[in-house]
Structure 1
Amino acid sequence: MRIATYNVNGINGRLPVLLRWLEETKPNIVCLQELKAPEEKFPLQAINDAGYNAIWHGQKSWNGVAILARGMEIKELRRVLPGDPEDSHSRYIEAWINDIVIGCLYLPNGNPAPGPKFDYKLQWFERFNIHAQELFSSGLPVILTGDFNVIPTELDAYKPERWVDDALFRPETRVAFQKLMKQGWTDAIRKLYPGQTIYTFWDYFRNAYGRDAGLRIDHFLLSPLIDKRLKSAGVDRHVRGWEKSSDHGPVWIEIED
């Protein structure tokens, strides 16, 4: 079974790219981020016509997350990260699919840092870590995936010295990610490619994609029951090179059924 995550950077504006990729790779489950569309503007008919069921949590102009499944029932578990009833950002959605808990997230960017946006990033991260611990402790097969907006190590950035003051790479952000990983999650890409340079994001500026000047900020975290089933993982890097594509590439894992 192939499970993928993709920050589409505007689902309606890039719908042809998304549909082309779905047709080419046919993942069984897909987590999407940055829909940038309100609830009523989600292109459900086009997604259904491509063979996928869907649940989504939209927001006008910003954020937005969705989970798609091909030929499988999606049982929604939650669409708001617990811990802050005042938080109106659509950044998390969770579902039960094929006996797996799938958590799809779009963690705040946090720039400029320091500042209110960075404070919100760290607060959201703390809430996420609390919820992730509960999921991990449940003993269920769980996958947490999406755009974490975290560069975990220097290996995950082209010229990391340029990112030292960025919210994605500041010490506080990396400490929060390390705290999450210490719960026992497996980073699927790093398990299979521990020392390899792998990127999932390439900026639109300065020919970043052409120079392979990227970042690894989209991650798959696996609970032990899923870790045991992990067969392969990768990035569909070529999709970033398509016309009018997102600045992220789709990331995927394959697990034994």
Structure 2
Amino acid sequence: MKIATWNVNSLKVRLPQALDWLAANRPDALCLQELKLEDRAFPVAELEAAGYHAVFTGQKTYNGVAILSPAPIDEAGVVRNIPGFEDAQRRLIAATIGGVRVVCGYFPNGQAVGSDKFDYKLRWLAALTDWLREELKTHARLVLAGDFNIAPEDRDAHPDWKDEIHVSEPERAAFRALQGLGLVDAFRLFEQPERSFSWWDYRMLAFRRNFGLRIDHLLVSPALRDACRSCVVDKAPRRLERPSDHAPVVLELET
């Protein structure tokens, strides 16, 4: 089973690239973030023509998440946004794909440590952790995928990264709290090249210089840890013309 996560930074702009990537890789589940479009504008027909079903929740200009699968998705099991957490921003969707509970999240950026947006980020993370604690009781086989906007360790950020956001201790503590539920960073189950990143700024030739962060993750529940066969960053879409600033991260499970 192949599960991937990709912040496309506007599905309208990146749709041709997404369709090409689906055709070349044929994932069983693709989690998308930053759709930046309303539900009525979601490209259902184009994806169906490519052989993919979709569940999604979006909003104009900002945020938005989706899960795509070649298998039909049972709408009855779909959750949109964190239950019990009042939030106008569309940042989370969950569905069951092939017996695996797939949770797709676009975690808040936080803007700057100490800001109101940073406080929102920490509250959102705490609510997510509380909900997942309950979700794991009924879904032992679970994958949490998405743009976390957190580089969990020093090796997940370029050594010259000077900004506190994405690497601050409160953010990393929140990441560790998710791991405290038993969730495992699938990428780190395997030997990886040094300075493996998934996001590079559009500015300052960052991608060419590999000045980036690893902020896109797939965390797996204990029941899936031994099923993990590989987890890699696919840099190819980042090399395209007008790319997303993120690259897909792909997890292969033996299920």
- Same fold per TM (> 0.5)? yes
The whole-number CA distance in structure 1 between the counterparts of 2:219 and 2:96 is 16
Counterpart position of 1:208: 206
Counterpart position of 1:31: 31
Kindly report the root-mean-square deviation, in angstroms, between the aligned alpha carbons of the 2 structures: 1.4
The whole-number CA distance in structure 2 between the counterparts of 1:104 and 1:38 is 17
The whole-number CA distance in structure 1 between the counterparts of 2:113 and 2:206 is 23
Q: Percent identity?
A: 39
Counterpart position of 2:78: 77
C-alpha deviations, 1:7-30, integer Å up to 9, x for none?
000000111111111111111110
Gap regions ≥5 residues in structure 2? none
Q: TM-score, normalised by structure 1?
A: 0.94
C-alpha deviations, 1:137-172, integer Å up to 9, x for none?
335200100000001011001125513x22x11111
| Secondary structure at the counterpart of residue 245 of structure 2 | coil
Counterpart position of 1:231: 229
The whole-number CA distance in structure 2 between the counterparts of 1:39 and 1:62 is 12
The answer (yes or no) to whether the contact 2:71–2:97 under 8 Å persists in 1 is no
The whole-number CA distance in structure 1 between the counterparts of 2:100 and 2:13 is 31
The answer (yes or no) to whether the contact 1:77–1:95 under 8 Å persists in 2 is yes
Q: TM-score, normalised by structure 2?
A: 0.95
Change (3 A) 1:74 1:3: farther
The answer (yes or no) to whether the contact 1:7–1:32 under 8 Å persists in 2 is yes
| Secondary structure at the counterpart of residue 60 of structure 1 | coil
Change (3 A) 1:160 1:174: farther
Q: Which moved more, 1:222-231 or 1:135-144?
A: 135-144
The whole-number CA distance in structure 2 between the counterparts of 1:146 and 1:252 is 11
Counterpart position of 1:145: 145
Tell me if 1:100 matches 2:74.
no
Counterpart position of 1:175: 173
C-alpha deviations, 1:185-206, integer Å up to 9, x for none?
1100011136743111111011
The answer (yes or no) to whether the contact 2:66–2:104 under 8 Å persists in 1 is yes
Counterpart position of 1:218: 216
Q: Which moved more, 1:69-78 or 1:46-55?
A: 69-78
Task: Count residues in correspondence.
Answer: 254
The answer (yes or no) to whether the contact 1:36–1:59 under 8 Å persists in 2 is yes
